């Protein structure tokens, strides 16, 4: 059965190439889309789980006033947690983020070494949902211990705009990607179906003879189904390989931009899981296409 | 084994090929079916494997009533009736070995047994050295032998040979006839269609068809044919084959 399928493929290599390249292209796009979807999900989650609202405190704040503000914010029920970051802790965080860069640490400037005094203490509030930002921010803005800019604006940072923008982009990418994948899958099905139909049509005499010898429909269509599955599976492997190469090639560009959010290069285990899923999915797609072609002819 | 009861066949074009044809063929008979071209000989064969349905009348092959048979059972019937087609129907891009093996693959023989059985059949029909050749590389007589080998490889109880000696020289035709006799001697019921009256033997039954009607039937028995089960016979042969292998 497999030998017959392989023989059929060998006898018309260009038809096989058309089927495999169409499937491979689809798999390539599906593979990239799956990884982009995963990445965008991780980026969104990263923004959602990091302290989202940072309110900088005046230097003359007291522990009691900070605790009072934390209680007020927490009591809204909209907050996952709210933590106080002292000046000393802010310095530690700064040092960790800049590493050993002497310029950023101030050791080579006229201003002298950066100390805890130059950094403000802050209150970091993690909201349950980005939708709750306005309520939390309004509470913080009313507090007298939050520092203000010279123009009188409270020094409160929150990534509402980024998050909204990112969510919109993610949704747009998902919609466009799914639409593209649907079109490409349809094209793959049609391509495999046409290739298999042509092969079956060219073997009508053989099929007719087999029927007269007592062959059942299933026996006759099996090699064509195996052939269709092979188109799907081989296309799956090639498409995956192309996407893996593309990801590895773009890793030097992406890695510094996604540091702390996504670990690059993408783990081989994840890629293997993706390969297994793609081969399975596109083998089924091949089987479906082959069935469409074979059943049509067997009924004649 | 075979019962044709008042069978008529009218093609959609209005051409009547068989008209109220009745005959019984008992298991183990060797029947020579003669008649001019268009007399209905090939139609009898096509009716036997339900490639066609009769316009009226009934046909029984073994325990099957072909008119009432479910379409899903047709393949089962065809597995038990070996047919040597007039145009051979040898698949051009398969070797002789693959063509013969196909009949066994269809009935689900295991690979090793297929090889042994096909080799045996190639010996029987006298073309063991042609197994790897393609049909286009064979002579008419060799093609006919390959077609016969394919028809009997699955040990059917019934063999229908449609003009197996047509287009062959006298010597090759005689060889093919002898081969069919040998197959008959192994216990197979044989129906051989031919124009060649030199094969008529008083020891064999002769049915002559003309314009869709039987004009001669030298049947020695007027008793209806027994409904010998094709399938059981086939099974017992398979078992015999297995035992031989063991």
CATH of the domain at A90: 3.30.70.3040
Phi/psi region, residue A43 (left: phi>0; alpha: psi -120 to 50; beta: rest), is alpha
Contact state of A214 with B79 under an 8 Å Cβ cutoff: yes
- Percent of chain B, pLDDT > 70? 89
Residues from chain A that touch B76, judged by Cβ atoms under 8 A, are: 214
> pLDDT by residue (tens digit) across A212-226?
999 998 899 999 999
Residues A235, A91, single domain; the answer is: no
The boundaries of the domain holding residue A235 are 2-46+163-299
Q: Which DSSP helix (H) or strand (E) runs through A164? A: helix A160-202
Q: Is B85 on the interface with A (CB under 8 A)?
A: yes
Contact state of B83 with A212 under an 8 Å Cβ cutoff: yes
Q: Report d(CA B70, CA B226) in Å as an integer.
A: 22
Residues from chain B that touch A212, judged by Cβ atoms under 8 A, are: 49, 51, 78, 83, 85, 89
Q: What is the mean pLDDT of residues B56-62?
A: 93
Contact state of B89 with A215 under an 8 Å Cβ cutoff: no
Residues A97, A222, single domain; the answer is: no
Q: Rounded to a whole number, what is the distance in Å from the CA of A210 to chain B's nearest CA?
A: 8
Residues A103, A118, single domain; the answer is: yes
Is this prediction's pTM over 0.80?
A: no
- Tell which of A107, A127, A158 closes a domain: A158
State residue A48's pLDDT score: 66
State residue A290's pLDDT score: 93
> pLDDT by residue (tens digit) across A105-121?
665 555 566 777 778 89
Sign of CA dihedral B182, B188, B194, B196: positive
Is the pLDDT confidence value at B142 over 50?
yes
Minimum-distance CB partner of A209 among B75, B79, B89: B89
Is the pLDDT confidence value at A257 over 90?
no
Give the distance between the most distant pair of CA atoms in chain A: 98
A154-168, B7-21, B28-42: range with lowest mean pLDDT: A154-168
Domains and CATH numbers, chain B: 2-245 (3.40.50.300)
Tell me how many degrees the CA angle B72-B73-B74 measures, rounded to the nearest 5: 95
Going by pLDDT thresholds of 50, 70 and 90, the confidence category of residue B238 is: very low
- Tell which of A125, A158, A191 closes a domain: A158
Residues from chain A that touch B51, judged by Cβ atoms under 8 A, are: 212
Residues A226, A188, single domain; the answer is: yes
| Number of separate domains in chain A | 2
Q: Report d(CA A123, CA A146) in Å as an integer.
A: 9
Q: Using DSSP, state whether A131 is helix, strand or coil.
A: helix
Residues A241, A194, single domain; the answer is: yes
State residue A268's pLDDT score: 86
- Tell which of A110, A130, A158 closes a domain: A158
Contact state of B76 with A214 under an 8 Å Cβ cutoff: yes
Going by pLDDT thresholds of 50, 70 and 90, the confidence category of residue A40 is: confident
Mean pLDDT for chain B overall: 85
Paired residues of A126 in beta bridges: A81
Residues A38, A183, single domain; the answer is: yes
Sign of CA dihedral A74, A78, A80, A82: negative
């Amino acid at each position: 059965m497999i030998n017959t399928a392989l023989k059929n493929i060998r006898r018309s290599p260009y038809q096989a190439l058309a089927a495999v390249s169409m499937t491979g292209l689809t798999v390539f796009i599906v593979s990239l889309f799956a990884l982009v979807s995963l990445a965008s999900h991780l980026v969104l989650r990263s923004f959602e789980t990091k302290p989202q609202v940072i309110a900088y405190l005046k230097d003359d704040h007291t522990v009691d006033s900070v605790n009072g503000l934390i209680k007020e914010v927490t009591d809204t029920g909209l907050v996952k947690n709210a933590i106080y970051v002292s000046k000393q802790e802010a310095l530690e965080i700064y040092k960790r983020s800049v590493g050993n860069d002497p310029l950023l640490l101030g050791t080579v400037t006229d201003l002298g070494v950066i100390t805890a005094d130059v950094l403000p203490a802050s209150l970091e509030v993690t909201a349950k949902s980005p939708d709750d930002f306005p309520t939390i921010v309004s509470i913080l803005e009313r507090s007298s211990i939050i520092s203000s800019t010279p123009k009188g604006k409270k020094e409160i940072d929150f990534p509402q705009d980024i998050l909204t923008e990112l969510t919109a982009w993610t949704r747009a990418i998902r919609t466009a990607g799914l639409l593209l994948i649907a079109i490409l899958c349809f094209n793959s099905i049609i391509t495999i179906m046409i290739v298999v139909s042509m092969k079956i049509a060219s073997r009508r005499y053989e099929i007719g003879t087999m029927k007269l010898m007592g062959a059942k429909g299933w026996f006759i269509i099996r090699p064509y189904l195996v052939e269709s599955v092979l188109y799907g599976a081989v296309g799956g492997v090639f498409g995956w390989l192309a996407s893996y190469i593309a990801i590895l090639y773009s890793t030097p560009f992406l890695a510094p931009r996604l540091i702390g959010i996504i670990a690059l290069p993408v783990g081989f285990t994840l890629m293997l899981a993706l390969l297994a899923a793609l081969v399975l999915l596109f083998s089924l797609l091949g089987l479906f296409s082959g069935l469409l072609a074979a059943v049509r002819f067997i009924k004649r | 084994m075979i019962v044709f009861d008042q069978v008529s066949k009218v093609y959609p074009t209005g051409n009547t090929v068989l008209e109220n044809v009745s005959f019984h063929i008992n298991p183990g008979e060797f029947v020579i079916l003669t008649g001019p071209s268009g007399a209905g000989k090939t139609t009898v064969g096509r009716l036997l494997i339900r490639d066609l349905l009769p316009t009226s009348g009934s046909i029984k092959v073994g325990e099957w009533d072909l008119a009432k048979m479910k379409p899903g059972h047709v393949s089962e019937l065809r597995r038990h009736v070996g047919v040597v087609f007039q145009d051979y129907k040898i698949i051009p891009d398969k070797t002789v070995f693959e063509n013969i093996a196909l009949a066994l693959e269809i009935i689900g023989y295991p690979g090793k047994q297929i090889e042994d059985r096909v080799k045996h059949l190639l010996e029987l029909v006298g073309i063991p050295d042609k197994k790897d050749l393609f049909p286009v590389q064979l002579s008419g007589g060799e093609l006919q032998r390959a077609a016969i080998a394919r028809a009997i490889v699955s040990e059917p109880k019934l063999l229908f040979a449609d003009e197996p000696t047509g287009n062959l020289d006298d010597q090759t035709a005689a060889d093919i006839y002898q081969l069919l006799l040998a197959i008959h001697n192994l216990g197979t019921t044989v129906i051989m269609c031919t124009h060649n009256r030199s094969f008529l033997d008083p020891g064999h039954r002769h049915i002559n068809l003309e314009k869709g009607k039987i004009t001669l039937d030298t049947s020695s028995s007027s008793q209806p044919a027994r409904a010998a089960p094709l399938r059981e016979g086939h099974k017992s042969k398979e078992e015999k084959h297995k035992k031989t292998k063991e």
